[in-house]
Amino acid sequence: MTLRVLCVFLLSGWLSVYAAVLPIPENGPALRIQGSNTIGAELGPALVEGLLQEQGLLKIHRETPDTANEQRIVGQTAQGQRVVIEVAAHGSSTGFAALKNTSADLAASSREIKDSELLALQTLGDLKSPAAEQVIAIDGLAIILNPANPLQQLDTDQLARIFAGEVKTWEELGGRGGAIHLYARDDQSGTYDTFKELVLSRRGKSLSSTAKRFESSEQLSDAVSADPQGIGFIGLPYVRQAKAVAIADGASQAMLPLNSLIATEDYPLSRRLFFYLPPDTRNPWAQALATFAQSPQGQAIVAASGFVSQTVQAMSVAPNALMPEGYQSLSRHAQRLTVNFRFAEGSAGLDNKARQDLARVLDYIKRNGKTERAVTLVGFGDLKDDPARADLLSKLRAMAVRRELVRNGVVMREVRGFGALMPVATNSADEGRIKNRRVEVWVY
């Protein structure tokens, strides 16, 4: 028994579509997914349902086993054969462990794979290759308070001190309410790993032992909502009834976790959500699901699930006095696309997400008739001792993106570099400097 599945491949910067054939196993699940609770609670199952629906399966539904945070998504062929896909959502680390012990075909992760995990899984192939590391959505870690808490913004240094237990009362932050109650995800969670990496570890701090820990994102959010003294961190779709505050990092402006700022990854606590497929996998369903997740249909499901899709759109940016004059002029006359090109660490080459985004940007430019002198690229970089060097490097990054667009028939209007101006992250840490090295796309 076979099904037709839509496969999308990146060929010379273009999305090409063709039909492949997937086998339906006679026994057992067609696909086993393990890992992130952030992905596995709703987004993963929704993408699986979309794929099964795309293939014309009938009676698609979810079944819940006795084990918490596990689901089976089931469809039926016209001939009555069941197709089962299993999703276990116990934290990103468990996905990589499951690949290691062959109890999963695909790992869902709300953080980038660690070097130690890469090493442990090297027999499965290079999990950092473009085919293996698939960014399926963008998420933002929201810092949530009880709705009655009057505090409006925090910076990442304050967050580190709060969650390390060094700041113990709301009054120390200019608020009110007495003792601060901490709420955090459990150690297996990619959400916790991301918060630890972005906030705690880079400042040499650890999570306070007083924090209440949760495997479930929904339960954590509801607990903060019910506690006037509570503060927690959570994936964007799980803010629910809580209040999200604006976050600043270093010299960046304080930013709320808005979709546009998360899509460009400017928001300080933005993060990527991943599928990891062993390059040597022989399960075509894993490849098909990753491909479907990258498609326009898959990205529509991402948005409907409360995450930020990678679909490219144009947005207006209001000029303000903190922008350099050239950038203010650009914002008055053009629109910015909801994508930033970023670079692999220690490299002038585009990272895996940027390679995926290149096809999306090209598609947007061509569909909207912007191929002839309607596109401006703007490069930024991290702080250097010599401002002229920062300016040059920022423009060289923009030129690297220009080469890819020109190769695919786009005649550029302008390429500019603004050096280390307008940082979106602190320049005091490697991760922040990498984030500041970016290229924006503007269209007229």
Give the domain 312-443 fold.
60s Ribosomal Protein L30; Chain: A; (3.30.1330)
- Stretch 207-212: mean pLDDT: 98
Residues with Cβ within 8 Å of 44's Cβ and at least 6 positions away in sequence, in order, are 33, 87, 89, 108
- pLDDT value at residue 12: 34
Structure-token match 């307008």, residue found? 422
Structure tokens at 114: 């660690």
pLDDT tier for residue 20 given thresholds of 50, 70 and 90: low
Structure tokens at 126: 């290079």
CA 99 to chain centre: 21
- The CATH number of 2-136+273-304, from 3.30.1300.30, 3.60.20.10, 3.40.190.10, 3.30.1330.60, is 3.40.190.10
pLDDT tier for residue 427 given thresholds of 50, 70 and 90: confident
CATH top class, domain 140-261: alpha beta
* 188 or 84, higher pLDDT: 84
Partners of 314 in beta bridges: 337
- Stretch 387-411: mean pLDDT: 92
Question: pLDDT, tens digit, for every residue of 363-377?
Answer: 999 999 999 999 999
Domain ranges of the chain: 2-136+273-304, 140-261, 312-443
- Stretch 418-436: mean pLDDT: 84
Question: pLDDT, tens digit, for every residue of 179-206?
Answer: 999 999 999 888 998 899 889 998 999 9
The pTM of this model reads 0.82
Question: pLDDT, tens digit, for every residue of 296-352?
Answer: 999 999 999 989 999 999 999 999 998 999 999 999 999 999 999 998 665 667 889
Q: What is the four-CA torsion angle of 435, 439, 443, 444, rounded to 10 degrees?
A: 110
Is it true that 140-261 and 312-443 share their CATH fold? no
